[in-house]
Structure 1
Amino acid sequence: MAEQEQQQALSAPETPVSGPSRTGRAVNLARLLHHECTELLRLYKERETFLSYHTPDGSRIVSLSPPEEEEPSTDRQVQLLHSALRQCLGLLHCVIQKEEEEWGKLEEDYESMKKNVRVRLEDLLYTTKNLVEDGTLDVTPDHRCAEEVDGASGVFGLKMWIYRVLVELTHWSDHAVQTLHVLHTHTEGVEEEV
């Protein structure tokens, strides 16, 4: 019985990638970020119970320019991911700023998780910058909070915009896991489950 449980644990999606390689650490960091983004979204939905009655449209806030070639190289995919993560970090900075302006400090668990996600996202940006050959990638947030927040007006509009940003963070952190796993598999020549 214990052997069967151990085997299941080894094949679980959350199982860390083996080895101390840079790409393996990047995959593990992306998995942790995705877990924390999912938790942050859950905490927000618990706090904002109106979300069970209203759902935002399914359009993406963060968008990438279409790749020039049919199937971009692995390095190019990581560069595109890095760009998306920078946009996500900029949006998260705006969420933090707007929430503090509007409501001050919020519930402790939510605030702690926001901080964790911000730090983890910054770490992942540095990690992806170091993984690609192009050393010119920037790690600063890619967004200006002084701009209109996605056309959101009033408290309800702001809350819906925040929800959309948190959904976006969850989407792109999952995308990071997938992209970095492909890079890890390509670099290390190992086949593992995501």
Structure 2
Amino acid sequence: VRCRGDGCSSTTCVLPGGSPPRACAGCGGRIADRFLLFSMDRYWHTRCLKCSCCQAQLGKIGSTCYSKGGMVLCRDDYIRLFGHSGACSACGQSIPANEMVMRAQGNVYHLQCFTCATCRNRLVPGDRFHYVNGTIFCEHDRPGGGSGTLLSGHLPPLQGNTVLPDQKVRGWGGHSPPRNHVPEDVSGAPWESCTPDGVWH
């Protein structure tokens, strides 16, 4: 298992007979198994190196894991929480693991970077916005004029130590649009509602 982020690397080790026992960083127990994992400068039972979100045993699901802010994550959960690069889609800077973020169409943003491309006003939870080809517009600067249906969104309460669902798009016959859907005719496309995503402590 190779771990990315926070400068760590992981390898699967085979202990030769007579090697001194190691303590597992996950459970604290003695590692008597022949196989163990070495990640983030610590030894782990193969069953104890797990994703902090989904609890998948990382040695079983692939050869890569990610570390950020003290969390060990599988690839899918890392991308879900921090995007493909772990960086803000607007400014390109790293997003700390304990920071709340805004999401739009799979992209992740610092709260202060989630701004209208035209007027540069920061969008806050509850604001309606339109997302066109990777660009965010506020309700007043909607491309193609002000026509079209405005849809109200729902803002879930913020809670510590949880990951809230991504903001949902309303107005697709009761269903969410396809994940990467970009409307052809932006003048009639629905609005999205700003919802901050979860916070980790």
**What interval of TM-score do these two structures reach, taking the shorter chain for normalisation?**
under 0.3
Which protein is richer in strand relative to its size?
2
Task: Mark the structure with the bigger radius of gyration.
Answer: 2
Q: When the two structures are superposed, what TM-score results if normalisation uses the length of structure 1?
A: 0.25
